[in-house]
Each structure stands twice: as structure tokens, then as C-alpha cells.
Amino acid sequence: MKKIVLLLLLSISTVAFAQTDTLSITLENVKYPYPVSFINLQTEGQDMRMAYMDVKAPNPNGKSVILLHGKNFGGYYWTNVIKALSDKGYRVIVPDQIGFGKSSKPFIHYSFHLLARFNKQLLDSLGISRTAVLGHSMGGMLATRFALMYPGTTSKLLLENPIGLEDYRAIIPYSSTEDQYKTELKTSAASVKKYYESSYFPEWKPEYDYLVQIAAGVTKSADFPRYAKVAAMTFTMIFEQPVVYEFPLLKVPTVLFIGTADKTIVGKGALSKEDQQKYGQYNILGKTTATQIKGSKLIEFANVGHIPHLQIPDVFLKALIANVD
């Protein structure tokens, strides 16, 4: 399985980055692992397109899973998860949220409630009335909001190293959207890699480079200021819309998949080195969160960082398949 995953990652990297060209802010020149479709949406008087992959299983079991990506990613990093689920008979829906990936980058009021509604509209358009929901990082906050809003649609809530397990408002000094926009404009390949190395992966490997290449490639686009502004808006969404206080309200079966070496803190750069050691401790946060969600199951991965499905694909996928239903 590791060999297959590595080949898939290298395939994406090779195809998308045969040349170090500028990436458009909607990633037109990044090849996704499966065909991409679009659903038309509208809010605040703006027409938008939401990109998604709809991967039907060769031998369907009649069940589906929707995968919700993190803030710094898009559907492209779910390749091995899609394949594993599809091989087991699941229909897999993989959206790029509005403001991310291949989807539109509108200037709107971003909220997890709104994004959850967009995902419900997508599922309705595909005739899917019930599905498991897997959310990673920011996608975990969104998945939690979705499950709170649409418990009848959510057969199971699966959270892979979700952010939002602590209230960032009580930790991070306030930064306005405009302040954050100025920070986002300074993004570079070096800054992206430094953050990923310090927070996401205990040990850097060459197969992670494509994550940096995509995140940094858009900085060369003439439209990057728009991308940066949207990134600032979604930072504000995360900062101002915690879900941590609502975990006890969840009424759906929930599984937490936690890499205990994760050190992710949203807004980490605003903290002193000393304070950075106090927060973002997933070896503690995972256990605390599990006690707040009635009947939840906690699966921990020792020495694993923010993205278990990339760092330990065999182990993660085995745990996922065993707990998706």
C-alpha cells in the first residue's frame, strides 16, 4: 500500500509540476486524481462554482463518504483515501470548499454554517440523503458543524486531526482580517514549508513537497491578492467561529483519529516560543475532546503529526475502513 500511495503522490507532483509555472488561484493547471465537476451556487448576489469529485465504486455497497479538506489543502491530497474507500464499495464525494482549491474565490462572509449548507446542496443534487462525513483539520470544524446542522444526513462523523479543539480566541492575540491579509501576502515556499515542518510532520519527506508546491505556486499568480484576501477571510472564520463548546451537542456516532505528535495552532506565529509549547498539544486535546462527545471513539497514532493519511497511510486507512460504518 505504501508503494501505491507514494506512486500516486509522485504522479500528482510530476504531472502538476513538470514545469515550475505559476499556478492559477483556482488550480486549473493542477491535475486532480479523478474527474472534477462543478455545482453552481449563489450567495450575497454572487454566482459561484463549487468543484467536486464524485467517485463511484466499481462494486458499490450502497454507502457514501464525503471528504472535507483542511484550510491549506484541496481535494488533491485525498487520493489514497478515495481509492481505499472506493475499493471497499463506497461512493466518495470530494468537494473543494468555496474559497479553496478549484472552487470560486468570492469576497463573502465566510461561515461554517454557510459552507455546511453548500455541502448539503451538493449532496442533495447528487441524490445522497445519508453519508459518513470525514473532515481533516479545518474540515473537521466544518464536518462538526455539518453534523450539528444535519444529523439526519450524517451517518457517522469521522474527524482526522481536526483543528478547533481549543478556543483560539483565548490563546491568540486578535488579528483583524486586514491584518491577516497583510500576513497572507507574505506567503512564500519557504514560509509554507517552515510551517508544515514545524506543525504538520515530525519528519519531512520528499513526497510531501507537492503540498508546498501547490500552496506556494499560487503566490506567483497575478490574482494572488484575491487568494490572499480569501485566505484571510477564512482565517477569521476559524478564529471567530469555534465549535469546541458544541461537541457535547453532537448526536451522531463519532470517531476521532488523532496523530498525537501534531502541534497545530491556528495563528501560531503570533505566539511566543514558550506559549507555543502550551497549546496545540494533540496528545492531550484528543483525549479531552473524546470525553466531551458522548459515545465517541478515540484512535490515537503515536509519533504521527497533523496528516495521518499521508504520514502513515497503511495504518490510517486500515483504521478508517474499520470504523467508517
Report whether 31 contacts 55 (CB < 8 A): no
C-alpha closest to that of 96 among 72, 69, 56: 69
pLDDT in the model for residue 199: 86
pLDDT in the model for residue 19: 36
- Position 268: which residue type? K
Unique residue bearing C-alpha cell 515550475: 20
31-32-34-35 Cα dihedral, nearest 10 degrees: -70
Report whether 196 contacts 268 (CB < 8 A): no
DSSP conformational letter for 54: E
Q: What sign has the CA pseudo-torsion 226, 232, 235, 240?
A: negative
- Interatomic CA distance for residues 63 and 130, integer angstroms: 8
pLDDT in tens, 154-192: 999 999 999 999 999 999 999 999 999 999 999 999 999
- What's the number of CA atoms in the CB half-sphere (13 Å) around residue 287? 5
State which residues of the chain have pLDDT below 70. 1-21
Q: How far does Cα 135 stand from its chain's mean position?
A: 6
Q: How far does Cα 111 stand from its chain's mean position?
A: 15
pLDDT in tens, 86-98: 999 999 999 999 9
Unique residue bearing C-alpha cell 478556543: 167
β-sheet bridge partners, residue 154: 131
> What is the value of pTM for the model shown?
0.93
Give the 3-state DSSP-derived string for 203-220, with helices as H, strands as E and coil as C: CCCHHHHHHHHHHHHHHH
pLDDT in the model for residue 21: 55
Report whether 153 contacts 123 (CB < 8 A): yes
